[in-house]
Structure 1
Amino acid sequence: MKEVHVAVAVIVRGSRVLIARRPDHVHQGGLLEFPGGKVEPGETVQAALVREIDEETGLRVPPESLSPVIAIRHDYGDKRVLLDVWRTSAVEGEPVGREGQPVDWMAVDTLQDEDFPAANRPIIRALKLPPYLAISGVFGNLVDGLRHLEGQLEQQRPGMVILRAPWLGDSDYRELALSARNLCREMGVSLILHGGVQRLEPVAADGIHLSWAEASQLTCRPVPEGVWLGVSCHNAEELAHAVALGADYATLGPVQATSSHPDADPIGWSRFQALAAQASIPLYALGGMATDDIAVAQQCGGQGCAGISSWW
């Protein structure tokens, strides 16, 4: 079955994105979608997006303003598609549905999976996830850990924090996580627990991040939709398993040498980029990362960076 290469535009204006509704008579008719269309033979993705956005909405897009978001391969059964997703906030003009389709600016936090074709859903994840994933580091006792977390959140408030403390037993971890949950909610930060799925229910945090050892034992998604699920991955096979589990995102690394895992061989940016092009879920570069590396990760098709020492 031939794969259809489709260029997709995430057009951002403030906290809203431009969304269209598919005509009832076409494939996946009646659902919402991001603007875009087929890449013609010999055409670059950027050129296809400039052309399609103009044809569909009348907006003008400088091609140099486009940056990669994610590549998604999806098999609908009757057709296979590669969604090549790029973002821009530099459009000129006001959108009009030039093909008769309704178009509107929608707040990112109002986008719902069921309103879009299944292949579009990782795009929604990418829009709702932050560019930097902060991970807690080493601390002494529970009081020191919570105090340090509060101090870091006051200095630099990321959109999402993974509470990682593999040296704690379930009881101590639960005590820390309950206090951390309340603190993060006060500051408007999503809290992701780290470890086995059993840690999630007593705390009611925003999600769970599984180590590869935990994820490798699972055969299906262990949490409901609406609860973030992340997986630590290191190669293509592990990423494929994370996708099969229905993970919302994955960390991939180490991309560069890191003191936390000195014996691990870095995969480098070129390998990260190659894996990101195949993964179909948002990927965070992990290992030796600083916040300055976010732009590099995004140019390589990643969601951004994840780090311990760069934040903790």
Structure 2
Amino acid sequence: MTATQSPVPEIHVAVGVIVREGRVLIARRPDHVHQGGLLEFPGGKVEAGETVQQALVREIAEETGLSLSETSLEPVIGIRHDYGDKRVFLDVWRTSEASGEPEGREGQPVDWLEPEQLRDQDFPVANRPVIRALRLPGVLAITGAMTSADDGLASLEGGLGQLEASGATCVVLRAPELSPEDYVRFASKAVALCTGQGLTPILHGSPEIFDAVPGAGGLHLPWSEAQALASRPVPESVWLGVSCHDADQLAHAAALGADYATLGPVQPTRSHPGCPAMGWEQFEALVAQAVIPVYALGGVGPGEAVAARRLGGQGVAGIRFWWRSDR
């Protein structure tokens, strides 16, 4: 950039994820505007003197006729993206309490879609993390300590009832105590068990582990594995998660193309008694900088999922709320 050039200003955009009966309100952008013809979550520019909540209430009413309450809005994620000719900050908020029936008051088609119907290619590229946040559960289950593959499978089976009650639909199959050979044996059977129960099994470890165990729904990288990678090691069709502990690690996870990250420990844990907890205030500050969905990890359970979401997180990840051997 030369001395006579000025940086492209950033546009602050309030984005609404409006949910009704499990479906999300989507609009199609007019052909003549930036990114025309693509789908979008409704919303618009935050004007001078407005809070993002005020802007969202105004924009949704103007665009769709729906009425929102500012107090019903919960933060989802903040995304900064540079399109080259335009820089945007998407400030995304969610509500399930919109009243009225939506209509495209600016001539745009609107519709309610299931989260599974949202495809990356139909939206501006900056919307990818929003789609991930809608598809991911608010509670991410992680397997706990096990002495053998058989012990792990027994604990997994024993925890299925508690898992269902928690609302978790994805299970990270973490077992650092097992040898690589035993882990493959455990994970192969656990993948079949989880799939049969309608759960998404996510392997934990290296990219080689993902190649060794067919049928998994994703891979969760410990930081020791993630830090050595420069690109996404698994297909886009499966989940990729990364264990993170600070802002730099979250940024690296995003650069890898991760779909989500865990961040912690947020609170003290029995499993890591000497590890200092960051606390909810630091969690909120780090999540505000992240451009992928982030789960709170460490000393948290389903009861803290709402608190985590109100601070901008995806929800909570944990072991003890469901894993039999850790009770």
Q: Is the shorter-chain TM-score for this pair beyond 0.5, marking a shared fold?
A: yes
Spell out the pairing of 1:136-155 with structure 2 (5 A cutoff). 136-155=143-162
Task: Check if 1:41 corresponds to 2:52.
Answer: no
Q: Deviations over 1:275-295 (max 9, x none)?
A: 111101000011111211111
Query: Secondary structure of the residue that 1:161 maps to in structure 2?
Result: strand
Task: Check if 1:119 corresponds to 2:126.
Answer: yes
Give the corresponding residue for 2:188.
Answer: 178
Spell out the pairing of 1:67-106 with structure 2 (5 A cutoff). 67-106=74-113
Which one-letter code corresponds to 2:29 in the other structure?
R
Counterparts of 1:129 and 1:147, CA distance in 2: 26
Q: Per-residue deviation at 1:102? A: 0.5
> Would you say the 8 A contact 2:269–2:299 is kept in 1?
yes
Query: Secondary structure of the residue that 1:42 maps to in structure 2?
Result: coil
Q: Per-residue deviation at 1:6? A: 0.4
Counterparts of 1:268 and 1:171, CA distance in 2: 37
Counterparts of 1:139 and 1:168, CA distance in 2: 8
Query: Secondary structure of the residue that 2:34 maps to in structure 1?
Result: coil
Task: Check if 1:218 corresponds to 2:229.
Answer: yes
Q: Deviations over 1:146-201 (max 9, x none)?
A: 11101111232221110110122222111111111111111111111100011112
Which one-letter code corresponds to 1:175 in the other structure?
R
Specify every segment of 5 or more residues in structure 1 that has no aligned partner in the other structure, as ranges: none
Spell out the pairing of 1:150-229 with structure 2 (5 A cutoff). 150-157=157-164, 158-203=168-213, 204-229=215-240
Q: Per-residue deviation at 1:202? A: 2.8
Identify which of 270, 275, 284 aligns with 1:264: 275
Query: Secondary structure of the residue that 2:159 maps to in structure 1?
Result: helix
Counterparts of 1:27 and 1:271, CA distance in 2: 36
Give the corresponding residue for 2:312.
Answer: 301
Q: Deviations over 1:239-271 (max 9, x none)?
A: 111111111000011111112122211111111
Aligned length: 312
Runs of 4 or more, structure 1, over 4 Å off, are none
> Would you say the 8 A contact 2:266–2:283 is kept in 1?
yes
Counterparts of 2:322 and 2:47, CA distance in 1: 44
Which one-letter code corresponds to 2:291 in the other structure?
S
Q: Deviations over 1:200-256 (max 9, x none)?
A: 123230000001000000011111111100000001111111111111000011111
> Would you say the 8 A contact 2:300–2:318 is kept in 1?
yes
Identity of aligned residues (%): 63
Counterparts of 1:140 and 1:168, CA distance in 2: 7
Which one-letter code corresponds to 2:177 in the other structure?
W
Task: Check if 1:246 corresponds to 2:257.
Answer: yes
Counterparts of 2:15 and 2:195, CA distance in 1: 34
Identify which of 122, 128, 131 aligns with 2:135: 128
Q: Per-residue deviation at 1:78? A: 1.3
Counterparts of 1:139 and 1:244, CA distance in 2: 33
Counterparts of 1:86 and 1:23, CA distance in 2: 23
Mean Cα deviation higher: 111-120 or 73-82: 73-82
Identify which of 298, 320, 326 aligns with 1:287: 298
Give the corresponding residue for 1:107.
Answer: 114
> Would you say the 8 A contact 2:297–2:318 is kept in 1?
yes
Task: Check if 1:30 corresponds to 2:41.
Answer: no
Counterparts of 2:274 and 2:80, CA distance in 1: 34
Q: Per-residue deviation at 1:310? A: 2.4
Which one-letter code corresponds to 1:268 in the other structure?
G
Counterparts of 2:135 and 2:84, CA distance in 1: 28
Counterparts of 2:265 and 2:58, CA distance in 1: 38
